[in-house]
Amino acid sequence: MNSVTEFSPAKINLLLAVTGCRTDGYHDLISVAAPLDFGDELVAESRERDAGPQFILSCAQPEVPLDDSNLIFKAAHAFVRATGWQGGVHFKLTKRIPLGAGLGGGSSNAVAALRALHKISGGLLTTEQLAALAATLGSDCALFVRPAPALMRGRGEKIEAVPAAARRRLSGRRVLLFKPHFSINTAWAYQQMRQRATDYVSVELTEKQLTAWLAGSEPAEQLLANNMEALAFDKFIALPVLLKKLQVKFRLQGRMSGSGSACFVFLSEGQSSAPLLECIRACWGAAVFIQEAHLS
């Protein structure tokens, strides 16, 4: 196989409960996250090895790093260490997911690279081995191995499928994503959580609420929570101002995804998004990123 094209979906966190700081520097969390039908595209093309690097990355978006700081390279080198594969690949990334948004773009790209290398190399890893390798790359990465709503625990590497009945309340739901012109650095956000030490939530209470939602029949809106909002809203006042306006004017409960700065609201089927777009642009300006999508 000389060329592989992989869809690299964005995700949103419907529930994100950061419960405490770990001794390894990461944070423990409980989350329900869902990939979307919107995302990036990664093309992997086989290339002859020469004196140059084994892997090359190109992308038209100037803000995307093309060096080893990009998780695509981290994934590719991890694949080589795990399999011993010595082929060369040129990765071509079409970037649609905004950076610094809390939508998991970098993690999704890394797993897309793993899937592409797996196929180009002739299938050197089992699905379980691929999932285990993805979990070593970053906290969100394991989510993208199987693109479906999932429960995330630990630092995000412990993945469990959402039960079928609950998944039916999520899959296909229509969402509107919107991100201001500014981004929020994930490392900064978690550093603030650690320093403030006041925003953590109870594991027991969160698990109780999650268990009740999974066993019930309430829609996804009743699950929404994110305790990373407090620190983000303190610094970036534009976020809570707009979410409050959407709640008052349209009776829509918006949430921030992950560590931000992207937010989202659920839309009913047939509901026009035009009034919301007008309101969002009036608050955040014409440079705002807006995208409709559906949960996978």
Active-site annotation holds for 140: yes
Supply the CATH number for residue 171's domain: 3.30.70.890
Compute φ and ψ for 32, nearest 5 degrees.
-115, 115
Measure the CA angle with vertex 196, ends 157 and 137; round to 5°: 20
Distance in angstroms (rounded) separating the CA atoms of residues 252 and 73: 40
pLDDT by position in tens, the chain (length 296):
699 999 999 999 999 999 999 998 899 999 999 999 999 999 999 998 776 899 999 999 999 999 999 999 999 999 999 999 999 999 999 999 999 999 999 999 999 999 999 999 999 999 899 999 999 998 889 999 988 999 999 999 999 999 999 999 999 999 999 999 999 999 999 999 999 999 999 999 999 999 999 999 999 999 999 999 999 999 999 999 999 999 999 999 999 999 999 999 999 989 999 999 999 999 999 999 999 999 99
Residues 117 and 148 in one domain: yes
Residues 59 and 201 in one domain: no
Q: Of 115, 147, 164, at which residue does a domain stop?
A: 164
Q: Which of 40, 74, 95, 140 is catalytic?
A: 140
**Tokens representing 2?**
């000389």
**Structural domain harbouring 271:** 166-294
Q: What's the whole-model pTM score?
A: 0.95
Residues 29 and 52 in one domain: yes
Tell me the DSSP string of 61-126.
-TTS--STTSHHHHHHHHHHHHH----EEEEEEE--SPTTSSS-HHHHHHHHHHHHHHHHTT--S-
Compute φ and ψ for 63, nearest 5 degrees.
-80, -10
Q: Of 118, 146, 164, at which residue does a domain stop?
A: 164
Q: Of 103, 131, 164, at which residue does a domain stop?
A: 164
Cβ pair 42, 109 in contact under 8 A: yes
Active-site annotation holds for 11: yes
Q: Which of 11, 74, 95, 179 is catalytic?
A: 11
| 3-class secondary-structure state, position 262 | coil
Structurally, the chain folds into a number of domains equal to 2
**Tokens representing 232?**
């983000």
Residues 282 and 266 in one domain: yes
Among 163, 162, 133, residue whose Cα is nearest residue 145? 133
